[in-house]
């Protein structure tokens, strides 16, 4: 089941070669149009090709048009081929259409994994971030499946709260729950729904950290209303990706969170980059001056951990510390103090 693809930009050969490297089988049809097919044995041809395309630069994706062909033999029909060429659409539209068609199977595949967040100063487990997983990457859904996003967001949130209770995670271990703008269009409704879930599964508000992500899409007055209410009831507020984006510091000042999560773009190879180190130092000092805890995300190397320790970060998260898992119980017995001592020595 192939796609027809038209590339309208410069360096088309480079684009096609990059796509070939990712495993897509490509034949030239003519007039700048190519036939894309997946390798044998792929169960979902349509998603396979769209997934490979999505890993290419967005600037290139803006220059393509696509048309899905249900069966390869249909390309031998001249009339069908002409109609397929006429109905070519953008990559974004094609992916959005696929996601809507697969709505039920996407929702059925959703599940939560937990990534540990460790107190760098005490050497103990501080909490878990609940991360949503499924057959299709959540980043695709955020970008291309807006009609589904609120439903997906709440399904994942309920699954995380339920699993916290069922997994025996103690009340003093925080659960970080992500909120996208779509889930907070009606603050009163969202608050009622959140506390309804906490009551349903016997999880107290003080066990929860609401993590605001993609916050450029929020109505700021509505967001501040929600933050004020949740904080008064014992929930802590975290801001994700601080430092990334032109308005992130403005949001930082407007919301005054309890916890700040520094974007991993500043942490990757921080031990090799003085500018990253200086920016991270500034964000940590600014947060501490306002009585906020700092989580440093994306720790993958011992050298990165040593630098953020030196810069006085409070909490750390990343693959070095612990990978996301569907069985968070294993981290409850982890001797993080011993691990940190070994990594920092």
Question: What does the DSSP 8-state code read for residue 80?
Answer: H
Q: What is the predicted pLDDT for the residue at 66?
A: 94
Q: What region does 30 belong to: left with phi over 0, alpha with psi -120 to 50, or beta?
A: left
For the chain, report the end-to-end CA distance as a whole number of angstroms: 55
User: Cα-flanking dihedrals φ and ψ of residue 188, to 5°?
Assistant: -65, -45
Q: Are 168 and 175 in contact (CB under 8 A)?
A: no
Q: Give 10-residue mean pLDDT values along the chain (345 residues).
A: 84 88 91 90 83 84 91 87 92 82 85 97 97 81 74 92 96 93 77 94 96 68 83 91 65 82 92 95 93 95 97 97 95 95 93
Q: What is the predicted pLDDT for the residue at 328?
A: 95
Q: What is the predicted pLDDT for the residue at 228?
A: 86
Half-sphere exposure of 305 (CA within 13 A, CB side): 24
Q: What is the predicted pLDDT for the residue at 218?
A: 64
Q: Where are the domains of the chain?
A: 3-102, 110-344
Both structure tokens of 254: 């407007």
Q: What is the predicted pLDDT for the residue at 321?
A: 97
Integer Cα distance of 240 and 263 in angstroms? 7
3-state secondary structure of 58: helix
Q: What is the predicted pLDDT for the residue at 73?
A: 86
Q: What region does 241 belong to: left with phi over 0, alpha with psi -120 to 50, or beta?
A: left
**Which fold is adopted by the domain 110-344?**
TIM Barrel (3.20.20)
Quote the crossing angle between the two packed helices 220-232 and 248-255, to the nearest 10°: 40
pTM above 0.85, yes or no: no
Integer Cα distance of 311 and 306 in angstroms? 9
Integer Cα distance of 313 and 320 in angstroms? 16
Both structure tokens of 146: 């807006």
Exposed e or buried b for every residue in 147-183, given b needs 16+ CB within 10 A? ebbbbbbbbbbbebbebbbeeebeeebbbbbbbbbbb
pLDDT in tens, 95-130: 878 877 878 888 888 899 999 999 999 999 999 999
Q: What is the predicted pLDDT for the residue at 55?
A: 81
Q: Which stretches of the chain are DSSP H helices?
A: 12-21, 45-54, 58-61, 78-86, 91-101, 103-109, 138-144, 146-166, 187-201, 220-232, 248-255, 274-289, 302-310, 329-332, 336-344
Q: What is the predicted pLDDT for the residue at 216?
A: 53
Q: What is the predicted pLDDT for the residue at 141?
A: 73
Q: What is the predicted pLDDT for the residue at 296?
A: 96
CA 100 to each of CA 15, 89, 105, 106, 146: distance values in angstroms, whole numbers, following the listed order = 28, 16, 10, 9, 10
Q: What is the predicted pLDDT for the residue at 31?
A: 84
Integer Cα distance of 298 and 102 in angstroms? 31
Residues 6+ apart with CB under 8 A from 143: 92
């Amino acid at each position: 089941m192939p796609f027809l693809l038209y590339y309208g930009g410069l360096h088309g050969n480079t684009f096609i070669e990059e796509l070939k490297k990712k495993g897509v089988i490509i034949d030239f049809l003519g007039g700048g149009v190519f036939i894309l097919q997946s390798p044998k044995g792929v169960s979902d041809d349509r998603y396979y090709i769209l997934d490979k395309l999505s890993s290419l630069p967005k600037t290139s994706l803006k220059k393509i048009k696509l048309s899905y062909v249900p069966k390869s033999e249909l390309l031998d029909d001249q009339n069908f081929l002409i109609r397929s060429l006429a109905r070519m659409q953008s990559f974004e539209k094609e992916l959005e259409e696929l996601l809507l068609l697969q709505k039920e199977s996407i929702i059925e595949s959703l599940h939560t994994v937990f990534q540990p967040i460790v107190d760098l100063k005490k050497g103990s487990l501080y909490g878990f971030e609940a991360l949503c997983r499924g057959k299709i990457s959540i980043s695709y859904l955020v970008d291309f499946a807006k009609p589904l996003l609120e439903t997906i967001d709440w399904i994942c949130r309920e699954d995380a709260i339920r699993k916290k209770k069922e997994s025996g995670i103690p009340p003093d271990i925080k659960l970080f729950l992500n909120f996208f703008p779509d889930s907070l269009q009606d603050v009163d409704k969202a608050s009622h729904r959140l506390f309804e879930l906490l009551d349903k599964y016997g999880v107290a508000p003080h066990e929860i950290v609401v993590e605001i992500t993609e916050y450029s899409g929020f109505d700021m007055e509505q967001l501040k209303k929600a933050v004020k209410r949740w904080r008064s009831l014992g929930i802590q507020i975290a801001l994700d990706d601080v430092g990334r984006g032109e308005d992130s510091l403005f949001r930082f000042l407007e919301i005054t969170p309890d916890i700040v999560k520094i974007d991993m773009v500043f942490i990757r190879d921080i031990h090799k980059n003085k500018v990253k180190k200086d920016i991270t130092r500034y964000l940590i000092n600014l947060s501490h001056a306002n009585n906020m805890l700092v989580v440093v995300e994306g720790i993958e190397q011992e050298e990165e951990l040593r630098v953020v320790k030196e810069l006085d970060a409070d909490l750390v998260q990343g693959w070095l510390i612990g990978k996301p898992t569907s069985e968070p119980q294993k981290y409850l017995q982890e001797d993080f103090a011993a691990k940190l001592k070994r990594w920092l020595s």
